[in-house]
Structure 1
Amino acid sequence: MREARNPAATGLGGDADFATPAELVGHPARSAMLLALLDGRALPMSLLTAEAGVAPSTASAHLARLTEGGLLRVRRQGRHRYYQLASAEVAQALEALAKLAPPRPARSLRTVRKAEALRAGRSCYDHAAGRLGVALMRSMLEQGALTGGDGLHHPERAARDRLSAPGHDLEYRITDAGWALFDRLGVTVAPGKRKLVRYCVDWTEQRHHLAGAAGAALLTRLEELGWVRRGAQGVDRALEVTEEGHAGLGEHFGIDSAGFVRGRVA
């Protein structure tokens, strides 16, 4: 009786050099960066540095090795560089390895909590960003409170928009339904020369979050209501949703904000 062979191994001929990619993937900092990119996004070095828990100079060296080794590719937008997995084959290989690998030893708990707090919610100048910010904007679009775009960053057709920067390609505006929502919440937009509605391409979620005078007024009101508070996990910019906020965001925006800490936007 012939021994069954793995179809996936057919044609390798014993010539595959597993040692090279294995050495690249096997380093804890590099594996943390690769896992952070497994959802298909292109991320800046600053975020990958936080994910890996290493110094910026060390992160730069690791990213260079991953790029030279063919596991990552670099996307440039303006003066900024963003890293993403080089191909679907790389993603498939990482997913297969993840099924075989034991849980990764925890990095510094403070580093982990800081990075997660910033991704869950943070202030971007004076408006909400991170999962909280993009969830608020997505909800307003779904409710018809905002119009002018779909809330997503489309790099393949972006003219001036780039990751981790104020947006310019679209013109969002608040609808009558949006003003009614603001009235129900008690959001007061201060008059002035500042543009009413702007947006940023969120640096962690790569979707749009609401900026401009409207975005600032909304965050101010959420803080006044006690729905969010600053300083989560000791990080000044991090925004934490309170128990009252979970209920309020669910009622007025249909947002499951408890999901932010589990790495999803609902």
Structure 2
Amino acid sequence: MKEQIGELFSLIGDQVRSNILWTLLDGKAYTASELAFNADTSPQNISMHLNKLLQADLVQVERQGRHRYYRYSKPEVAYAVEAVVNLVPQKNNKAISGSHDDPIRHCRTCYDHLAGKVGVLITDSLIKKEFIVPVDNTFDVTFQGERFFLDLGIKINELKNKKRAFARPCLDWSERKHHLAGALGAALLNRMLEQDWIRKKQNTRAILITSKGQHLMYHYFKISV
């Protein structure tokens, strides 16, 4: 086990591979050429790094016609990447997101769920209202919570049948508090996108909150964003 852990740290500690994993954190699938551009390396070099990540089962590849698209192999990879970022000292992590730091910190996607200040505020509200309850390293949804989420169009029983973690805390690197991840976190993000509470911006993980979203977030969560 110690050797496997050492190999894994060595694998993700490489600058090019860490850049690849950071890029994939937005939940999109990327071609090798796009990942090479984001990792600032050559197409020939990116292939070697991607093969190493494939062999370690950290990424998967999907073929569409002549193109190959890469993404995380499972949500746990995203949680691990986000957790590693939390090891960066607070005084240094302002440089992580580049020049668009403030929007990223305010509201962003973390793989397939909502993160940043807004994601943490929503999670805090759900806990305070006792719609979700922390249990070990997961969240349980109460009876009142099931009714609340159903009002949002989210069916808890269907999510529990998915082959992935149902609801779990994910430590937010910018807020240093937990936001909601897992199938429930993904369903909440998707619902907000479908109902135009929020909108994704191009070429960034930052999320735009619409005027409708501001109103409904206060209505449902009693938060001002």
TM-score by length of 2: 0.55
How far 1:172 moved relative to its partner?
1.8
Matched, 1:225 2:195: yes
Matched, 1:197 2:172: no
For residues 147 and 83 of structure 1, do their structure 2 counterparts lie closer, same or farther at Cα, with a shift above 3 Å needed? same
How far 1:171 moved relative to its partner?
2.8
Partner of 2:117: 131
SS at 1:251's partner residue? helix
For residues 204 and 245 of structure 1, do their structure 2 counterparts lie closer, same or farther at Cα, with a shift above 3 Å needed? same
Partner of 1:31: none
Q: Distance in 2 between matches of 1:253 and 1:176?
A: 17
> Which residues of 2 match residues 73-112 of structure 1 at below 5 A?
81-84=87-90, 112=99
Matched, 1:254 2:222: yes
What are the superposed Cα offsets for residues 16-39 of structure 1, whole Å, 9 maximum, x if unpaired? Answer: xxxxxxxxxxxxxxxxxxxxxxxx
How far 1:80 moved relative to its partner?
7.2
How far 1:78 moved relative to its partner?
7.5
SS at 2:216's partner residue? helix
Structure number with the higher helix fraction is 2
SS at 1:246's partner residue? helix
Q: Would the aligned equivalents of 2:86 and 2:171 in 1 still touch at CA under 8 Å?
A: no
SS at 2:88's partner residue? strand
For residues 248 and 195 of structure 1, do their structure 2 counterparts lie closer, same or farther at Cα, with a shift above 3 Å needed? same
What are the superposed Cα offsets for residues 141-188 of structure 1, whole Å, 9 maximum, x if unpaired? Answer: 011101127xxxxxxxxxxxxxxxxxxx63321111211111111124
How many pairs align?
Answer: 136
Partner of 1:181: 148
Equivalent of 1:242 in 202, 210, 214: 210
What are the superposed Cα offsets for residues 24-76 of structure 1, whole Å, 9 maximum, x if unpaired? Answer: xxxxxxxxxxxxxxxxxxxxxx9xxxxxxxxxxxxxxxxxxxxxxxxxxxxxx
For residues 186 and 79 of structure 1, do their structure 2 counterparts lie closer, same or farther at Cα, with a shift above 3 Å needed? closer
Q: Could you tell me which runs of 5 or more consecutive residues in structure 2 were left unpaired when the two chains were aligned.
A: 1-21, 23-82, 92-97
What is the letter of the counterpart of residue 206 of structure 2? A
Q: Which has the larger radius of gyration?
A: 1
Partner of 1:120: 106
SS at 1:82's partner residue? coil
How far 1:192 moved relative to its partner?
1.4
What are the superposed Cα offsets for residues 230-263 of structure 1, whole Å, 9 maximum, x if unpaired? Answer: 11xx543111110000000000000101xxxxxx
Q: Distance in 1 between matches of 2:189 and 2:141?
A: 16
* Identical residues among aligned pairs (%): 34
Q: Could you tell me which runs of 5 or more consecutive residues in structure 1 were left unpaired when the two chains were aligned.
A: 1-45, 47-76, 86-110, 150-168, 258-266
User: Displaced runs of 4+ in structure 1, greater than 4 A?
Assistant: 77-81
Say what the alpha-carbon RMSD is for the aligned residues.
2.6
For residues 81 and 212 of structure 1, do their structure 2 counterparts lie closer, same or farther at Cα, with a shift above 3 Å needed? closer
Q: Distance in 2 between matches of 1:236 and 1:220?
A: 17
For residues 79 and 248 of structure 1, do their structure 2 counterparts lie closer, same or farther at Cα, with a shift above 3 Å needed? closer
For residues 173 and 78 of structure 1, do their structure 2 counterparts lie closer, same or farther at Cα, with a shift above 3 Å needed? same
TM-score by length of 1: 0.47
